[in-house]
Amino acid sequence: MVEEMRYGYARVSSEEQSLARQRSALGAAECDQIIEEVQSGVKARHRLDQLLVGLKAADELVVTELDRLGRSTGEAILLMDDLIRRGVVLRVLTLPSLDITTNDGRLIADILASLAAHERRRTRDRQRHGIAVAKAAGRHLGRPPKMNGQQITEARSRLAGDEPVRVVARAYGVSDKTLRATLARQAG
């Protein structure tokens, strides 16, 4: 007889984020095995995909929040449909009364997944707006520049004097490619 397993799945989007909260909650839920992944939901989630393939009827998949399962509302709904069809139990710790095997439970899960997707879109819109405002104000976004204005002016003069790009780049501690890109950006 094959024993049912309780699998926990924890995911964060980047190395700067911590799995500790999810790990603790899944441990308290007495998962037999916890699968962890550091990967943006937008990219492929190989560990989740492997876990899903191995789940059998009566196994239980435990996540802390519904949005750990899908990149979009549609994906989360398709995943829930697949789990129901295969007889796998889904438990979402932040929604203890959610039972996706019932019509009412599915409706609630669908609504929650839609709200999560809507909030992600709103966050992206706010981020785009903030970037546009910062650019309009002339603030530099991204990594700090490798060269300051004086260094760029000096590098231009040295290159105009037929000094090789490689020599000039080394003098400022940058690669040839970075020097060319910096000069091109400042010319525009």
- According to DSSP, the residues that pair with 63 across neighbouring strands are 9, 92
pLDDT of 74 reads 72
> Whose CA is closest to 178, among 142, 144, 141, 146?
146
Give the chain's mean pLDDT.
85
Contact 95, 112 (CB under 8 A): yes
- Domain coordinates in residue numbering, the chain: 6-120, 149-187
pLDDT of 46 reads 87
6-120 folds as: Rossmann fold (3.40.50)
Mean pLDDT of 98-105: 77
Q: Does the global pTM surpass 0.75?
A: no
Q: How far apart are CA 81 and CA 113, in angstroms?
A: 13
Confidence of residue 84 (pLDDT cuts 50, 70, 90): confident
Catalytic (active site) residue 13: yes
Higher local confidence (pLDDT), 35 or 97? 35
What are the tens digits of pLDDT across the range 119-145?
A: 778 888 998 998 889 888 888 777 788
Higher local confidence (pLDDT), 130 or 66? 130
Q: Choosing from 13, 24, 40, 175, which is the catalytic residue?
A: 13
For the beta sheet containing 6-12, the strands, ordered from the edge strand earlier in sequence to the opposite edge, are 33-38, 6-12, 60-63, 89-92
pLDDT of 42 reads 61
